[in-house]
Homo-oligomer: A and B are copies of this chain.
Amino acid sequence: MISTEKTTSASNALSINPPKRLLYGPGPTQVHPRVYEAMAKPIVGHLDPYFFEVSQGVQRMLRDVFGTKNELTLPISATGSGGMETAVSNFVEAGTKVGVLAAGFFADRITEMAKRHGGTIVRLEKPWGEAFDLNEAAEWIRRERPQVVAYVQAETSTGVFTEGKAICSAAHDVDAIVIADCVTSLGAMPVTVDETGIDVAYSCTQKGLSCPPGLSPVTISPRAMDRLKKREQPNRSWYFDLSMIADYLTQSHRYHHTASATMFYALHEGLSLIEEEGLQNRLQRHRRAHEQFVRGIEALGLKMLVAPEHRIWNLNTPCVPDGVDDAKVRAHLLQPYGIEISGGFGPLAGKIFRVGIMGPLATEEGVNHFLTCFGDALRAAGYGR
């Protein structure tokens, strides 16, 4: 093996020297040390047998966390919003009637993408932070008869989790396929694609899977595959065209794009960590951390935005107390504590905090540490005085 180090007159000083952060935001979240170790491993080519071995492992483990037997389950070479565009662009073409259950920022993003891909949109709307009445949603779907129904399983802008069985059942009654945004839930809450009846789900790597951003896992049901084959026009996006991506990663291994070995290594490692812990153990760890978080928040005298039965476990949205400037609280968390969280936006700007308790931080110690610093930051911003 020849040396590859002496080609430049470079000093050995690395240009990257990030500050220490604890990522308690909605994502990206704390990356497990083993994932960093995997990313430092030398890359192989995007058509190398070892790359396809890693890719196969990723696909198998993704099926487990998605809760699906769908053969077509793989990562898209883009971030979570690229997964959203994959879902929308492959199943919406000019004239497709799309029903969107809209109660947050990411449902609005789906709407916007569906319009750009030629869809005719109908929306059932709720104020941000409210959950859908599932009977109402099912009736609306049966009345509107869209060809595609889209909902957000875990709405990151509000903290609401939507249990989708009634939605999927109504959608299937009118022969619609169902797209579910699982960006925030995958790896931290039960996503249960098959049991719920979801046809197309997409997610990201930087939340429940504890990896850096860079890939977007998707899964596609046989029903949706049939629909895809019946498209009249090609996908407007070449990059997100599932038929070609599937051919590259699962069938002929024919070149489509140059997938990143590094990002696949990271995802493989993140999924292996879940497998070693056991998916159910991991989900229950997130549930316990969530319950501990809520108890601590309520002990501080704050309220949660979302009703208990509709809360996302790994993305908590406590309300900003009256008279407190949420930006001051966030600034005090960042300095001195190096803790990143997010605020609300849109109609919830200044009204909520968005706190991710996931991956390596979803432990009793992780929650305690956050609550201690958060209490201090609240007081620094004038709370309780």
Please report A residues at the B interface, Cβ cutoff 8 Å.
Answer: 1-12, 14-23, 25, 27-28, 30-34, 36-46, 48, 50, 54, 57, 77-82, 84-85, 89, 109, 112-113, 116-117, 204, 206, 212-214, 234-240, 255-263, 265-266, 268-269, 272-273, 276-277, 282, 285, 338, 340, 345, 359-363, 365-366, 369
Contact = CB atoms under 8 A, between A and B. Distances in A.
A305 B46 CA distance: 25
B37 A269 contact: no
Nearest to A114: B238
Contact of A46 (B14, B28, B238): B28
A5 B363 CA distance: 11
Contacts of A269: 14-16
Most chain B CB within 10 A, of A2, A23, A113, A117, is at A2
Contact of A366 (B2, B80, B262, B345): B2
Contact of A16 (B7, B38, B236): B38
A260 to B, nearest CB: 4
Contact of A212 (B1, B43, B236, B361): B43
Copies of this protein in the assembly total 2
B237 A85 contact: yes
A50 B116 contact: no
B112 A262 contact: no
Contacts of A48: 21, 340
B20 A1 contact: yes
Nearest to A207: B258
Given A10-B34, A89-B237, 17 more contacts: A2-B369, A3-B365, A4-B30, A8-B282, A9-B277, A10-B277, A11-B276, A15-B269, A21-B43, A23-B45, A31-B42, A77-B78, A116-B234, A204-B258, A206-B258, A206-B260, A212-B262
Given A32-B4, A39-B262, A262-B39, A116 B236 contact: yes
A362 B7 contact: yes
A124 to B, nearest CB: 22
23 contacts: A2-B365, A2-B369, A4-B360, A7-B362, A7-B363, A9-B276, A15-B57, A15-B268, A18-B44, A18-B50, A18-B261, A28-B45, A36-B40, A37-B40, A77-B213, A78-B82, A80-B258, A81-B238, A109-B238, A213-B261, A213-B262, A214-B214, A214-B260
A257 to B, nearest CB: 4
A9 B274 CA distance: 10
Contact of A42 (B12, B20, B260, B369): B20
A161 B221 CA distance: 44
Contacts of A82: 77-78, 239, 257
